[in-house]
């Protein structure tokens, strides 16, 4: 699992703590303590890390300008009061071939919605779409 970096808007107790048992998780403010980090500086900071996946609920990151082969951005399109859903959404997302490995994720900027995933890649102008959520297997 690659390093997951969480935006400041994401609640630590609801979304981050449950992930610590299976992922390396850091908050953006821990990358540059004692600094105020504006959105336009996020790509610069992500490039300094070892191929991180940045998780945010800020729709401003769903933008072509943020595509970069050195990191992945996951914009989860949920409201503040739904942040408790983030760990389950990420587990499910990381089962998809397009997001399963660090190598598969790099260069992507994705929008994870309630019924669809859209993503852009650094090497393409196409917006790709996947049905969502993953259908549950019958046992």
Residue 136: inside a domain: no
- Residue 5's DSSP bridge partners are 26, 54
pLDDT band at residue 46 using 50, 70 and 90 as cut-offs: very high
Q: Say if 101 falls within a structural domain.
A: yes
Would the pLDDT of 54 be above 60? yes
pTM across the whole model: 0.91
Q: Which domain range does residue 123 map to?
A: 3-131
Retrieve residue 81's tokens: 């009061």
Number of domains the chain contains: 1
E strand segments, the chain: 3-6, 24-27, 53-56, 72-76, 108-112, 116-121, 127-131
């Amino acid at each position: 699992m690659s390093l997951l970096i969480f935006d400041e808007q994401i609640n630590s107790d609801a979304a981050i703590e449950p992930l610590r048992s299976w992922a390396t998780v850091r908050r953006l403010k821990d990358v540059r303590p004692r600094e105020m980090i504006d959105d336009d500086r996020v790509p610069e900071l992500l490039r300094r890390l070892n191929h991180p996946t940045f998780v945010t609920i800020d729709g401003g990151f769903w933008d072509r300008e943020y595509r970069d082969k050195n990191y992945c951005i996951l914009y989860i399109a949920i409201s503040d009061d739904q942040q408790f859903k983030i760990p389950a959404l990420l587990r499910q997302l990381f089962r998809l071939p397009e997001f399963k490995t660090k190598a598969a994720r790099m260069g992507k900027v994705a929008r994870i919605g309630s019924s669809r995933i859209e993503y852009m890649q650094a090497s393409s102008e196409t917006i790709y779409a996947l049905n969502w959520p993953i259908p549950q297997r019958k046992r």
